[in-house]
Structure formats: C-alpha cells, structure tokens
Amino acid sequence: MPNEIEIWEKEFSEILGGFAEKVELKPGSLFVVGCSTSEVAGKHIGTAGTMDVAEMLYRELEMFRERTGADLAFQCCEHLNRAVVMSRSAAEKRGLEEVSVVPVRTAGGAMATYAFEKITNAVVVESVKADAGIDIGDTLIGMHLKAVAVPVRVGRRTVGHANVVLAKTRPKLIGGPRAVYERTPGNLSCT
C-alpha cells in the first residue's frame, strides 16, 4: 500500500491544483471535505477506513489551505450525522455552536478522526455553509454547501479508486426579467 499511497497523493495533488486554477477561493472562505478513505483504497464506503490514506489526504489539504487561505472543514460519516470538524477559530468566526463528540474511525470516519487529531484546537459543529468543497468517495457533502452549488470539472475525477466531485458556490440570482446580476457603471445610476 505505501507505493499506492504515493500514486494517490500525486493524483490528489493534481485534483486540488486543478481546482485552485479554476476557482479563486478568498482567504477565510470555507472549504468542506467529505471523504471515504475506504473508497480511496478500493473498498466499500464505511468498511475499511485507513489512517494512512487520511494522513496523505490531510497533508495535501493542508498545503491547499496554505496556498488559498481557506479554512478547512471535514465532514464526519453518517454515524455522527455528518457533523463537521474544524478549527475553533473558524467555527467562532462563523458563530457556529460546538457539539460534544469526538470522532473515531468507526464513528466519524478516518478522515474526520485524523483531522480532529491534527487541527490545533479542533471542534465539531453540526453543520456549515461552505463556499466550496470536495467529495471523495460519494460522501454527499451537499448539505454543507451554500444554497447554489456549481460543479467544477478538473482533468482528474478519481483519487485511488474513489470518485471525486468538486463544487463551488455562488449567490442566488433573485428577481425577474428586469433584474441585473452584474455591477457596471451604467446600471448604477439613480435616475
């Protein structure tokens, strides 16, 4: 498996690099990560979570965080109702209430467990509304994205054996036929 993990790390780096090229995350924006390490390793979701895969993914995500300035949030598995691990500072900045639970590999998943151990002053919150995210292994991150999610396609769509889906969000377009959605000098006049 060590050789495979090196290959998967290159694949994952390519995916995150492709996303960063297409989407400009503002510093302090929130990026949610849903991940089945079992799926990456070629097993059924929730059956073979591995800390080795979680460690590799976390390492790449930390480099992504450093490049973009985005805050990371890690979705737990269904056994913790898909609660989210993040830094206390990121949670407090968003006014999120901490819940009392410690993710473990069998209730939370390997990725969230690893993140909880590595994030300085980690907390768990029930839900977030992220600006963008990555779903590795069909973990269903949609509940943690802002209302209008837009898929982002990059060259690679898998890491290891897991399907990868990326998304960004945008504000809702509201109004009717007379609504304007982009600010230009000509449409701001007050006549």
Give me the pLDDT at residue 177, please.
Answer: 82
| pLDDT given for residue 1 in this prediction | 55
Question: Structure pTM?
Answer: 0.91
**Structural domains of the chain in order of their starting residue, each with its CATH number:** 2-188 (3.40.50.10360)
C-alpha 190/C-alpha 26 separation (Å) is 31
- Structure confidence at residue 101 (pLDDT): 96
Q: Give the closest residue to 152 by CA, choosing from 132, 167, 172.
A: 167
* Burial letters 52-62, b for 16+ CB under 10 A, else e: ebbbbbbebbe
pLDDT tens sequence for the chain (191 residues): 558 999 999 999 999 999 999 999 999 999 999 999 999 999 988 888 899 999 999 999 999 999 999 999 999 999 999 999 999 999 999 999 999 999 999 999 999 999 999 999 999 999 999 999 999 999 999 999 999 999 999 999 999 999 999 999 999 988 888 888 888 877 776 65
- Per DSSP, helices labelled H in 41-87 are 51-68
**Which residues neighbour 119 within 8 Å (Cβ) at sequence distance 6 or greater?**
72, 85, 86, 87
> Do the Cβ atoms of 45 and 38 come closer than 8 Å?
yes
Residue 76 near residue 109 (C-beta atoms within 8 A): yes
